[in-house]
Amino acid sequence: MPQLSFTARYFRFVPEGKSLGRKEHELNLDKAKTALLAVDVGGMGHEHMQEIEAKVVSESISPSINAARTCGIPVIYVNNSAPKIAIAHSELAKICKRSFDLNWEEWGSENTVDPKEYVYGDSTALAIPDQVAPQSQDYFLRKHAYSGFFETRLDGLLRNLEVKSLICLGFSLDVCLGSTMVDAMNLNYQVVLLRDATLAQELPDDLEDLSFTKRLITLTEYSIGFTAASNDFIAACDELHD
């Protein structure tokens, strides 16, 4: 079976009191059992992060998605949505209202959905940029919670594809992408985060250093799975394609 081989990273807290820190690990993934999971790649919607977010999309997310497609790795999009489930009464909707003054149903409305099932409207908040838009061979699932696994068909899709390892990217690392990766690990999928193909929701004062994003990358490395650079993943895909 073709192997997808590249360098990944994890973090060790042992020995006690003298952490060994980050360690590199050569991953050899069965290509036939690997998928790329793109979570909320349309972005987070914060004005102060638009510039860096656009850079991450163009320089890391888009090339990684294209590389996966080129070498035959399934690309699975998981995107926010507003199903007609009285979501305005949910705890998540209440949190979004008080934290962001966001009305979930208006924010998540779409003009490409079945209005019997989803809130129909003209919001562009969930639009995916053309450069990373799903293509005909990709998979697209709508979610209505932080995690892409909560009350969706994602686990069933992955089982049908016989996927064991997930290459993860998208937004945001502190909520939607992070929650999806935790659930993936709990369901026994191997998680590999492309650490330069994501961002957390940084406060304006922390934006220059991306301190929150960096801390969550470390958390991923000791609690959820591996991380890798998108260039290394792309090179591994190119080697298989060649």
| pLDDT tens digits, 71-117 | 999 999 999 999 999 999 999 999 999 999 999 999 999 999 999 99
111-142 residues labelled b (16+ CB within 10 A) or e (exposed): eebeeeebbebebeebebeeebebeeebbebb
Is there a single domain that holds both residue 159 and residue 75?
Answer: yes
Determine the average pLDDT of the residues in 43-56.
Answer: 94
- Output the pLDDT for position 43: 92
Is residue 186 within 8 Å of 149, Cβ to Cβ? no
Is there a single domain that holds both residue 92 and residue 114?
Answer: yes
Mean pLDDT score of the chain? 95
- Output the pLDDT for position 97: 96
- Output the pLDDT for position 20: 73
Q: What is the DSSP letter of 83?
A: B
Nearby residues of 196 by Cβ (< 8 Å), 6 or more positions away: 56, 59, 60, 229, 230
Domain membership of residue 17 (yes or no) is no
Is there a single domain that holds both residue 70 and residue 159?
Answer: yes
Percent of the chain whose pLDDT exceeds 90: 94
Is there a single domain that holds both residue 185 and residue 88?
Answer: no
Maximum distance among all alpha carbons in the chain? 58
Domain membership of residue 102 (yes or no) is yes
List the beta bridge partners of residue 123: none
- Output the pLDDT for position 242: 63
Q: Domain range spanning residue 107? A: 82-125
Is there a single domain that holds both residue 194 and residue 91?
Answer: no
**pLDDT over threshold 80, residue 153:** yes
**pLDDT over threshold 70, residue 29:** yes
CATH of residue 58: 3.40.50.850
- Output the pLDDT for position 103: 96
Domain membership of residue 28 (yes or no) is no
